[in-house]
């Protein structure tokens, strides 16, 4: 008699990365690494105080030390490590009760692709915030504007909604 599977007794299925996952990684990592290189090259030109926080309208509402900008690359590195681990082990993700050995591969792939997309969207957002903060500090720009929050919410929410819709199609 077979025991009911739980998160730790799920099938161990090795799935190759899809082309879309490779593409998302190239885009996300390029933005992230580009922003880190940009910060390194511009560091000595930065003023003592830079934008440190933005309100919901994308306006600077707190200024801080340029050293606070280093938080963003560290957060990005943390996201990379955490999300790469989650991508590597889709068996630990949360699945509906209808999950079983016959549909495990579909659930794993769908869930892993979502984690991949969210990781890379976060890296892109971090890069944009870093670039915008430097731009404002150097007088190149005036702020994000009121559209940054809705774009960020939609940009990160859309893949989640799509994943839920696609997950419901799995029998």
Nearest to 167 by CA among 98, 115, 89: 98
**What value, to the nearest 5°, has the Cα angle with vertex 152 and ends 90 and 109?**
20
Q: Which two tokens stand for residue 40?
A: 């390194």
Dist CA 134 CA 87 (whole Å): 32
The Cβ of residue 72 has, within 10 Å, a number of other Cβ atoms equal to 19
3-state class of 64 per DSSP? strand
Structure confidence at residue 2 (pLDDT): 39
CB crowding 76-113: b at 16 or more within 10 Å, else e: beebbeebeebbeebbebebeeebeeeebeebbbbbbb
pTM for this entry: 0.89
| pLDDT attached to residue 43 | 97
* Domain positions in the chain: 19-168
Residue-wise pLDDT for 99-157, tens only, equals: 999 999 999 999 999 999 999 999 999 999 999 999 999 999 887 888 888 999 999 99
Residue-wise pLDDT for 21-34, tens only, equals 999 999 999 999 99
Q: Please tell me the distance from the alpha carbon of residue 24 to that of residue 15, in angstroms, as a whole number.
A: 17
User: In angstroms, rounded to a whole number, what is the distance separating the alpha carbons of residues 81 and 138?
Assistant: 31
Q: Which residues pair with 62 in a beta bridge?
A: 53
At residue 4, the pLDDT reads 46
């Amino acid at each position: 008699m077979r025991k009911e599977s739980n998160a730790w007794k799920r099938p161990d299925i090795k799935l190759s990365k899809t082309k879309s996952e490779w593409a998302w990684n190239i885009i996300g990592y390029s933005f992230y690494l580009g922003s880190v290189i940009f910060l390194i090259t511009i560091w000595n030109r930065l003023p003592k105080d830079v934008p440190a926080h933005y309100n919901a309208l994308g306006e600077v509402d707190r200024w801080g030390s340029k050293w606070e900008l280093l938080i963003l690359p560290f957060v990005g590195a943390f996201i990379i490590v955490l999300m790469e681990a989650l991508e590597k082990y889709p068996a630990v993700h949360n699945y509906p009760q209808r999950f079983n050995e016959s549909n495990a591969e579909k659930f794993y792939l769908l869930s892993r692709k979502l984690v991949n997309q969210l990781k890379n969207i976060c890296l892109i957002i971090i890069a944009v915030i870093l670039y915008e903060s430097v731009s404002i500090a150097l007088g190149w720009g005036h702020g994000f504007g009121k559209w940054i929050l809705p774009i960020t919410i939609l940009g990160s929410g859309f893949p989640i909604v799509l994943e839920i819709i696609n997950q419901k199609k799995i029998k």
